[in-house]
Structure 1
Amino acid sequence: MSGFRSVLVVLAGLILLIGSASATATAEPQYPVPYDLFVQDSVRDPYGSAAGSNDWNCVPSVAHPEPVVLLHGLGANRFNMFTTISPLLANEGYCVFALTFGENASLPAPFDSVGGLGRLDDSAAEVGEFVERVRTATGAQKVSIVGVSEGTLVGSYYVKYLGGARVVDKFVSLGPAWRGTLGTGPNGDGQWILDLAPDDARTVIPFCAGCPQGFPASDFLAKLWAGGESGVVGPYTPTVTYTNIMTRYDQLVLPFTSGYVEALNATNIVVQDGCSLDYSEHLALAASRVATGHMLNALDPENTRPVPCVFVAPFLGG
């Protein structure tokens, strides 16, 4: 009889051990973090999600009660822009969500998975709907936003005009374009491009209705800088904390200081000011250990850590 009891004890111990290992693995999933945007899976499955994102059963932790919503840039989507940022944030214990906004459904597959092509104000409305879905699923009162390039403009419009000021706490921008880009015309403001099609972007770029809205003289940017719901002039809203992360080698936001806008609730960071080894241009910011180090500190300012200074290759990251 004692031998039988011994067998039962051993079996019970094995069951507890297996159950404990399973629960730990489920509670703290760890994802590989490739500091490289060109991950093969994002090409094979353009309609997928980056590792660590869009787990609709995710419960926000006490340490990180606010889910993070990721907003991609022009020509990207919820997968290929966040192959680094999404698993990095998930490993830190955040609930991470990302959408593809501004797709052009008239394009053939897989090009219909390309985002950021629609009008920026329409994309901002998509972001608003998505944020409410995130809040409903997680029970969170507020979210934080990490926007890249065009995603900064779309996210800011949502905050200023579509109710986001109530539910967004922190707004981290990589390669922001608050003053627009391509200010290289005869007047230095891009007006020469807008004069070709002042009201209808499709006559200039048939598949990208939102592209000219990012030019400095566009009506969209004029509205973004107007008072908005808060009455404050500029791209910010006073109830939100902003962090702008820029690179001197940006080849798409011209000049890179378009994203450098001072305010009491804004911090401006040029990655090369703290690390001359970071040669990231516009795209590599989203796969840079330096830029993402600043991002983590911006999202959790009470638990900051030293930002690494490592070599970051243009276009590739590192």
Structure 2
Amino acid sequence: MREYSSRLSCLCNLPSIAALAIALVATPAFAGTYSVAPNIAAGIVDTIPNPAAAPPGANLQSCSLKQHPYPVVLVNGTFSVMEDDFGALAPDLANAGYCVYTFNYGGSPTSLIQATGSAISSASELASYVQQVLGETRATKVDLIGHSQGGMLAEYYVKLLGGAPYVHNLVGLSPTTHGTTLDGLALLASAFPGANLLVGAACPACKDQESGSAVIQQLDNGPIAQPGVGYTIIESKDEFVVTPVGSSFINEPGVTNEYVQSSCPLDPVDHADLSYDNVTIQLVKNALSPSTAQAPNCAIAFPWPAQ
């Protein structure tokens, strides 16, 4: 399975979208009610025909909360859209009976590259979207799962925009909790065709996620974790975007901070592939439902549909 994880680093040196198709050769198909993409390369290719489309299993009007009472809201990371970031996590959670919702923010609705706008504006979009989901489902709270910038926005929304009463659990996948460097974001941009041209002035979200930015200072001023909300932060020891490794964590009482490799030491997953990693997905499920928690299957590095 290591070859699939290494595909992202290979993509960083390839000049065109056509290279993404090359990375999909011999990629296995995964069966299930909702199709699970095997890696981020597949997710990006799936996104190309319609960047505004939701990933399989997400945003379904027919979804019932009988099995899991809290709808799950997924918040993607910088440069990505909802389908290429959550092409595995969304359908996997849906296959497990969760009502999954997600949305694009911080960019043109038809663009392949989004989540680059002002972080404060994007956090406000998240706040509005949570209220929309609560209105549609009549749920009392949501579970928030944010990847990279999405995790930081979730933290910001709960702490600074009055989101705590509306959130049951917050799960961050390598969130930029304490900021990072533009070098790290430039490495991330190389995974998304054309995104490297936006780093800097054309990407307000990049500046807002820099260590020491006004947004990060607001988030880090005083406790981040808010009463009544369950917090789980998941990070890879092979992190290359949010550095130094471990800086995603919220080192406060009541917060669960865990490395993927603490469960499966040989899992080579990196930042961009976190939401496609089978071990990470199981840790997410454990955070959402501790009473049914299971040890991850370390023999399967990438997603497999729920049974």
- Among 251, 262, 287, the alignment partner of 1:273 is 262
Question: Identity rate of aligned residues, in percent?
Answer: 31
Do structure 1's residue 173 and structure 2's residue 176 form an aligned pair? no
Residue of structure 1 aligned with 2:50, choices 35, 45, 65: 45
Q: Unaligned regions of 5+ residues in structure 1, if any?
A: 1-28, 185-202, 227-232
**Distance across 2 between alignment mates of 1:139 and 1:311:** 36
C-alpha distance in structure 1 between counterparts of 2:301 and 2:278, whole Å: 8
When the two chains are superposed, the root-mean-square deviation of aligned CA atoms in Å is: 2.2
Indicate the residue corresponding to 1:115 in structure 2: 114
Structure 1 residue aligned with 2:275:
286
Letter in 1 for 2:136: A
User: CA deviation digits over 1:212-233, x for unaligned, max 9?
Assistant: 111111111111122xxxxxx2
Question: 1:69 and 2:70 equivalent?
Answer: no
- In the other structure, the counterpart of 1:129 is 128
- Consecutive unaligned residues of structure 2, counting only runs of 5 or more, are 1-31, 184-197
Distance in 1 between residues matched to 2:156 and 2:207, nearest whole Å:
16
8 Å contact kept, 1:67–1:140: yes
d(CA) in 2 for partners of 1:248 and 1:168?
A: 28
Contact 1:124 1:154 in 2 (8 A): yes
CA separation of 1:311/1:56 partners in 2, compared to 1, >3 Å: closer, same or farther?
Answer: closer
Matched residue, 2:214: 219
Contact 2:127 2:157 in 1 (8 A): yes
With 31-40 and 269-278 compared, the bigger mean Cα shift is at: 31-40
| Cα pair 1:147 1:173 within 8 Å, conserved | yes
1:215-272 CA distances to partner (integer Å, 9 max, x unpaired)?
A: 111111111122xxxxxx2322122111111001111111121112222221011011
| Compared CA separation, residues 57 and 204, structure 1 to 2 (3 A) | closer
SS at 2:258 equivalent? strand
Give the distance between the partners of 1:57 and 1:130, measured in 2 at CA.
18
Q: How far apart, in 2, do the equivalents of 1:116 and 1:129 lie?
A: 16
Matches of 1:113 and 1:237, distance apart in 2: 34
Q: How does 1:1-318 map to 2 (within 5 A)?
A: 30-39=33-42, 40-61=45-66, 63-104=67-108, 110=110, 112-182=111-181, 205-226=200-221, 233-310=222-299, 312=301
User: Do the aligned residues in 2 keep the contact of 1:103 with 1:113 (CA within 8 Å)?
Assistant: no
SS in 2 for 1:302: helix
Do the aligned partners of residues 183 and 79 (structure 1) sit closer, same or farther apart at CA in structure 2, a change above 3 Å counting?
closer
Q: Secondary structure at the match of 1:259?
A: coil
Letter matched to residue 125 of structure 1: S
Encode CA deviations 1:128-163: one digit per residue, 9 max, x unaligned.
Answer: 111111011111010000100000111111111222
Q: CA deviation at 1:104?
A: 4.6
SS at match of 2:143: strand
Residues 189-233 of structure 1, C-alpha deviations (whole Å, 9 max, x = no match)? xxxxxxxxxxxxxx982321121111111111111122xxxxxx2
The equivalent of 1:198 in structure 2 is none
Instruction: For 2:36 and 2:47, locate their aligned partners in 1 and report how far apart those are by CA, in whole Å.
Output: 14
Higher relative contact order (CA 8 A, sep 6+): 2
Number of paired residues? 258
- Name segments (4+ residues, structure 1) moved above 4 Å: none
How far does residue 81 in structure 1 lie from its aligned partner after superposition?
0.4
Q: Which residue of 2 aligns with 1:230?
A: none
TM-score, normalised by the number of residues in structure 2: 0.79
The DSSP-based 3-state class of the residue aligned with 2:281 is helix
The letter for the 1-side match of 2:248 is G
Q: Secondary structure in 1 aligned to 2:267? A: coil
| 8 Å CA contact retained: 2:182, 2:207 | no
Matches of 1:277 and 1:33, distance apart in 2? 23
Paired letter, 1:48: A
